[in-house]
Structure 1
Amino acid sequence: MDNSWLQLNLVEDEEIPLFRTALLIAQDEYPQLAAAEYEARIDGYFRQLRTELSPALLPAAQLQHLNRFLFEEVGFAGNEVDYYDPRNSYLNDVLDRRIGNPISLAVVQLELAQRLDIPLQGVSFPGHFLVRLPVDDGLIVLDPYQKGRSLDETELRSRAQGYFDAAREIDDHHLARMLEPASHRAILTRMLRNLKAVYSEREDLARAVRCSDRLLSVDPHQHEEYRDRGLLYLRLEHIGAAREDLRRYLKLEPTAADADAIRLQLAEISSVPARLN
């Protein structure tokens, strides 16, 4: 495994370079990817924006200019044709094709905002990943998938409601919690989980396992990933690796809701011939 991956769980969240690590995810799929070329492209966008933006502008006005540049001049957009195309999660593809999913587009937006000292933050909202800008009288919340469109409180409640029981009211406190800023570690985790879900749905189990590996590199405290990876290994008939991961999951989460089911699974594979290891 690349040393950069090994080091991720050793550093504080604010030390994780979001854009560069997102390129690292893409490098798994594209081993010959020249990360420096994509960093140079972002740097070119930054230099152009820096010459156009007046430091006297308020952050909200600067963000409006950034969005106009990204989504109108350069032409970044959400992939409306194939939302679940894995290329939507690989940053090199997003930069080359100028289409992506909400979180990959947000990573581009966040990287430029950071370089421009615009205090933009990611939001791990249900459904679409969003971004937020704190302002004096509250928050501006935007959807990168819809070209940085601003979302009001009514629409945010409506979007959130679709992911909860209809009888459950989304009160102010609950909405505020859903709009809390996402850490770099949380953003990378969501990117990898999106990819894992896509590959699992496509029965591309080897790539799904790779996503689980990377999730554990980003945050080894995601204990459910040992379970998920173990079950993926089982489907790939890597029995020894499956046993190891499932046992580790039970050791870390002995009272989990699915612990008995996992114990039963382990009992069933204990007699599988060693030749399948």
Structure 2
Amino acid sequence: MRLNLLPPSPLEYFTSLVQSDAELPLLEAVVSLAQDEYPDLDLEHSLSVVDKMQSRLRKRNAQNGSVLERIHQLNQFFYGELGFALNTNDYYDPDNSYLHHVLETRRGIPISIGVLWLELARSIGLDVYGVSFPGHFMLKVLLAQGQVILDPLTGKSFSSQELTHQLQAQIPRLSLYNEETMPLGLFLQSASPREILTRMLRNLKEIFRVQQDGARQLAVMERLVILLPKDWIERRDRGLAYEAVGRTQEAMVDFQSYLDFSREALDATEIAQKLQALKNQA
């Protein structure tokens, strides 16, 4: 029996990282998203850079103050000394989602910067979570008396009124609510590592769709299907991407999976017709 001594492919490695919700290593999984774009990426280097940042922060006794004091110290270090901020020059640059690049340039988007902030915050004992707020990823810190919602781009807290206005701008139908009756809590739930990865990948999926870059979009879809094996919409979308690049057999498998579990979908007839057309060509 021969042993397989070859290193895992990027997709195999990603698959191994996201098998279990309980043990999903968010930072490592986020760093690995860049492997399709950067095959020679040194993941260990990026993880080491974050580890050194955590060590520098802890040496300042940042873990010994109150929660608010620790947040203040972290923000001074993260935004002031390290200089992390929004990439205002090119918000839709895919590199803004690739953590090794964000670590190098200190520029990114709310979710990539937010992931780094969460890693540093947890290293000094803060009880923190990401929040998949519509239109803008946010940070949540649990306090003895409640919680505070922060902007990952600045570390500043949002008032409930500010959050209400942001939510109404993203979801017009919620303009019927006022600040007292707005169901804010529904949109401030803690995001799991899998949900954070999903949001990052869907950001990239949309960027590559707009850029009409089918090959790179398909690479992202491969990861989404691995991450969300029972999300049949993602399976359908990957099938459409396979069809577009002429990978007929893979497209047929995905279309069949979609139909098996989404018979009542509005586009089920359309996908069934596509499937039959591909079968006729085979």
Pairing 1:159–2:141 present: no
* Paired residue total: 271
1:54 and 1:227 map into 2 onto residues whose CA distance is 47
2:63 and 2:196 map into 1 onto residues whose CA distance is 28
Q: Percent identity?
A: 37
Structure 1 pair 172/7, CA: closer, same or farther in 2 (3 Å)?
A: farther
User: Per-residue displacement from partner, 1:211-243 (whole Å, max 9, x unpaired)?
Assistant: 111112222122211101011112212222212
Which of 193, 197, 207 lines up with 2:216 in the alignment? 207
Aligned to 1:76: 84
Aligned to 1:44: 52
Matches within 5 A, 1:1-277: 1-2=9-10, 3-11=12-20, 13-145=21-153, 147-166=154-173, 167-169=175-177, 172=181, 174-272=183-281, 274=282
2:63 and 2:151 map into 1 onto residues whose CA distance is 25
Partners of 1:22 and 1:90 within 8 A in 2: yes
Q: State the Cα distance separating 1:207 from its structure 2 match.
A: 1.1
In structure 2, stretches of 5+ residues that fail to align are 1-8
1:232 and 1:35 map into 2 onto residues whose CA distance is 28
User: Per-residue displacement from partner, 1:140-165 (whole Å, max 9, x unpaired)?
Assistant: 111113x2221111111111112223
Of structures 1 and 2, the one with the larger relative CO (CA 8 A, separation 6+) is 1
2:22 and 2:125 map into 1 onto residues whose CA distance is 15
User: Per-residue displacement from partner, 1:174-225 (whole Å, max 9, x unpaired)?
Assistant: 2101101000010011111111111111111111111111112222122211
After TM superposition, where is structure 1 displaced by more than 6 Å over at least 4 residues in a row? none
Pairwise CA RMSD? 1.7
Structure 1 pair 7/40, CA: closer, same or farther in 2 (3 Å)?
A: closer
User: Per-residue displacement from partner, 1:20-52 (whole Å, max 9, x unpaired)?
Assistant: 111111122111111111111111111111111
Aligned residue for 1:29, secondary structure, equals: coil
Return the TM-score normalized by structure 2: 0.90
One-letter amino acid of the structure 2 residue matched with residue 259 of structure 1 = A
Aligned residue for 1:150, secondary structure, equals: coil
In structure 1, stretches of 5+ residues that fail to align are none
Aligned residue for 2:171, secondary structure, equals: coil
1:33 and 1:183 map into 2 onto residues whose CA distance is 25
